[in-house]
Structure 1
Amino acid sequence: MKILNTVNDVKTAIKELQKAGRKVGLVPTMGFLHAGHMSLVKKSVADNDFTVVSVFVNPTQFGPNEDLEAYPRDFENDTKLLTDAGADLIFSPSPEEMYPEGFSTKVSVSGITNALCGLSRPVHFDGVATVVTKLFNIVNPDRAYFGSKDYQQLQVIRRMVKDLNMSVEVIGMPIIRESDGLAMSSRNIYLKPEERTSALSLSKSFGLIQKLLDNGERDARVLRQKVVDYINSHSSAHVDYVEIIHPEKLNSLETVNGDIVAALAVKIGRARLIDNKLFKI
C-alpha cells in the first residue's frame, strides 16, 4: 500500500490506473478509524479494482471553539487497519497542501444545510462540500463511500453531486454500532465511563419512537418532545436538536404521513454525538 501526501502524486497515480481501465473507489475520512470506517473501506475493496482512502482532518469544516486541535488522531493505527483491509493508497495531505496560500473558493449547498447540524455549525457543510469536491477532483473516483450516521452530510453530498453533474456514484453505508447500540464515532473516545451510559439514550430513544408509532401516534411534535424529555432525563445529556424530518428534503415535519427520519444531536460531556434512524411507515 502506498502513502502519498501531495495532490500531484495522487493525480499521477490515478491517471495511470484509469488508463489501464481500472475502477477506483474513494473513502474520505478524517482518520482515527473504527469499524464504521472500515465497513466503507471493505465495501470499496469489494466493488473496485483500487481503493483510495483519504486521511485528512479538514480545518474548514470546524467552526470557532470546535474540537479541531483536539480531534483524535492515530495515523500509525489507521495505516495498519487500512493495510489489513486491502486498501491500496492513503492520501494524507497537510492543510497547506489542500488549502495553499491564496485559496479563496468554496462550494456551498443551500436549502438542506439550513437545518439540523447546519443551524449550530454554520460553516460546517461549506467545509464538507468544498473538501469533498476537491477530493473528487483529485482522485476522480468511480465510486465514493460515506456512512449514514452523518445523515445530513450524506444528503448534502448527494445533492452536490447531482446539481454539479459529477460522474461519481455516491454510496451510503449503514450505521455501524457498538455492541451496546452506541453509533460508532471517533468522538466516542471523549466519553467518560459514566457519560457512556447517558450516550446510550440516543439509540434507545429510537425504540421509544417505534413504540409510539406502533400505538398510532402520528403527531411528530409529540414524538419529538417525548425523545427530548427522555434524553434530558439522563445526566450529562444536553439536547442540541431532536427532529422528525422528511428523508430527502430534511424539513421538519408536524405530522407523520409517510417514511420519516429521526435525527438527533446531543452534547454529552466533551462529546457532541449524532445519530439517526429511518422509520418505514
Structure 2
Amino acid sequence: MSTQAKLPPSSIPLFTTVSSFREWRRKVYDERKSVGFVATMGALHEGHLSLVRKSLAENDLTVMSIFVNPAQFAPHEDLATYPRTLPGDLELLTAESMMVVNPSASEPITRKASAVFLPTVSEMYPSGISQDTSAQKGAFVEVKGYGHQMEGQSRPTFFRGVATIVTKLFNAIEVSGALSDPFSRSHGGARQPTNAYFGQKDIQQALLLRRMCKDLLLSHPDPSHVHIVPTARDPTNGLALSSRNAYLTSDGKKVAPTLKEALTAAESAWNEGLTKRECVLRAEQVIDAKRTQARSEGLEVEMRLDYVQLNDSGTFEVVEDQSRRLGDGSDPVILSGALWVDKTRLIDNIILGDQSRILA
C-alpha cells in the first residue's frame, strides 16, 4: 500500500500503483470473494454512490478507482479545471455502508468499500500521454464503428480514451488467479467474477464498454458482468447528476433541467407514434421556450443545443422513422441529447422500449 504523504487520511485502503493493488487483489482470490468495480474520475456525487451501493449489494468486496484520464479530453477541453476533490470523495465513500444477509452467517453483515485505486498518470500511461492524439505513443484501444455517433460526433476522440483507460483499469483490477492460486490452475480458474458498474447517464460509453469486453474476449468482466445502473437525478428537478454540474452558475442551475424536460417531450411524441423528426422538433421547442422564458426573467445564462437524436442501442445508428416498432424483440432506442448551459455541457438520455435489455 502506498504511504505517499500527499494522500489524505482514510480508513479505506488506498493504492497508487498497479503492483501494490495487485498484491491486495491476490489475497482476495485466496478468500474466493467476488469483487465489484466502480471506475470514476472523482468529484463524487450521488450518481457515483448509487453505483457503489449496487456493488455493495451484489459483491463481497467493492473497489473504486479515481483517475482523471487525460486521454478522454481533447486539447480544448477542461482537463486542467476538471474538479478534483479527493478528501471529500473519500469522506463520502467512507460513509457508505450496506447491511446484507449472509447465508453462511447467523447475523447480517455490513459491507463498506474495500479499496480505492488512485493511480498516477505515469502509472497508467508508461509511454506518456498527450491530449493531442496525433502525438500519442504506446498502446490504445478503439472500438471501431461505434464511437462516431451520438457523443462521438461532438467528441471524436473521447471513446478511444475511454476504451483505453477502462481496459487498463480492468487489467489492473483483475489479476489472473494462476499467478498465485494452485487451486485455480487445477480447477479451471474457479473463482468469483469481477462485476463492473457504470451509469446510464453515459449510456453510449457503457454500451460501448460492454461491446469491447465481448470483442476482446475479456473474462473479467465478461459482457454480462458489465452492469448499467439507472441515472441518478436531483430529486427536486430531475437533473441528471454529473461532476460538471459544479460548473453551473446560480442562473445556470435554474435552466439546467431543460434538457430532461426536452427529452421527456420527445419521448411523449414517440409514444404518440410521431415521426423521428417530430420527436426531435418537440424537444427543440421546449428548449426554445425555456430560452425565451429565461430572457424574460432576466436570467444571465446562455443555452445552446448540441443535439437531440434517436439511435439504435445495438448499433448506435440513427433511427430514421417509426417503421421499426418496439416490443418485437428489437433493441431499444436511445433518445439522447446534449445541451450547453453557458460553458457547461450537459448530457442525458431516455431508453425507449424494454429497459431491462440494457439496465441492471
Deviations 1:98-140 (A, max 9, x none): 1123660000001121111111111110110000000100111
Residue in structure 2 matched with residue 125 of structure 1 by the alignment: 159
- 1:156 aligned to which of 196, 208, 227: 208
The answer to whether the Cα contact below 8 Å between 1:220 and 1:253 also exists between their aligned partners in 2 is: yes
How far is the alpha carbon of 1:226 from its aligned partner?
2.3
SS in 2 for 1:234: helix
- CA deviation profile, 1:200-224 (whole Å, cap 9, x unmatched): 111111331233234331x101211
Q: Which has the larger radius of gyration?
A: 2
Is the Cα–Cα contact under 8 Å of residues 33 and 78 in structure 1 kept in the other structure? yes
- State the percentage of identical aligned residues: 39
Partner residue in 1 for 2:107: none
Name the TM-score, length of structure 1 as normaliser. Answer: 0.95
Of the candidates 274, 277, 280, which is equivalent to residue 350 of structure 2?
Answer: 277
Partners of 2:289 and 2:141 in 1: CA distance: 39
2:260 matches 1:203 = yes
Q: What pairs up with 1:70-149 in 2 under 5 angstroms?
A: 70-85=81-96, 86-101=112-127, 104-140=138-174, 142-149=194-201
Partner Cα separation in structure 2 for residue 231 and residue 114 of structure 1: 25
Please say which of residues 58-67 and 198-207 is displaced more in the overlay.
198-207
3-state DSSP class of the match of 1:156?
A: helix
The answer to whether the 8 A contact 2:35-2:195 is kept is yes
In 2, are the aligned partners of 1:72 and 1:186 still within 8 Å (CA)?
A: yes
CA contact 1:232–1:239 (8 Å) conserved in 2: no
Give the drift of 1:280.
2.5
Task: Tell me by how many angstroms 1:189 deviates.
Answer: 0.8
Q: Tell me, which stretches of 5 or more residues in structure 1 are unaligned?
A: none
* Aligned residue in 2 for 1:49: 60
In 2, the alpha carbon distance for the partners of 1:81 and 1:146 equals 18
Is 1:177 the counterpart of 2:250? The answer is: no
Counterparts of 1:22-33 in structure 2 under 5 Å? 22-33=33-44
Match of 1:63 in 2: 74
Q: Deviations over 1:242-279 (max 9, x none)?
A: 10111222111111232422110111112111000012
The two structures have a TM-score, normalised by structure 2, of 0.75
Runs of 4+ in structure 1 displaced over 4 angstroms? none
Q: Residues 146 and 214 from structure 1, CA distance in 2 versus in 1: closer, same or farther, beyond 3 angstroms? A: closer
Structure 2 unmatched ranges of 5 or more: 1-11, 97-111, 129-136, 175-192, 292-301, 327-331, 355-360
> Within 2, Cα distance between the matches of 1:254 and 1:132?
32
Counterpart-to-counterpart distance in 2, 1:10 and 1:75: 18
Q: Is the 8 A contact 1:176 1:183 kept in 2?
A: yes
| Cα deviation 1:134-191 (Å, max 9, x = unaligned) | 0100111610000010011011101100111112110110001002110000011111
**Contact 1:232/1:238, CA 8 A, preserved across alignment:** no
> Which shifted more, 224-233 or 269-278?
224-233
Q: CA RMSD in A?
A: 1.5
- Work out whether 1:244 is the aligned partner of 2:310: yes
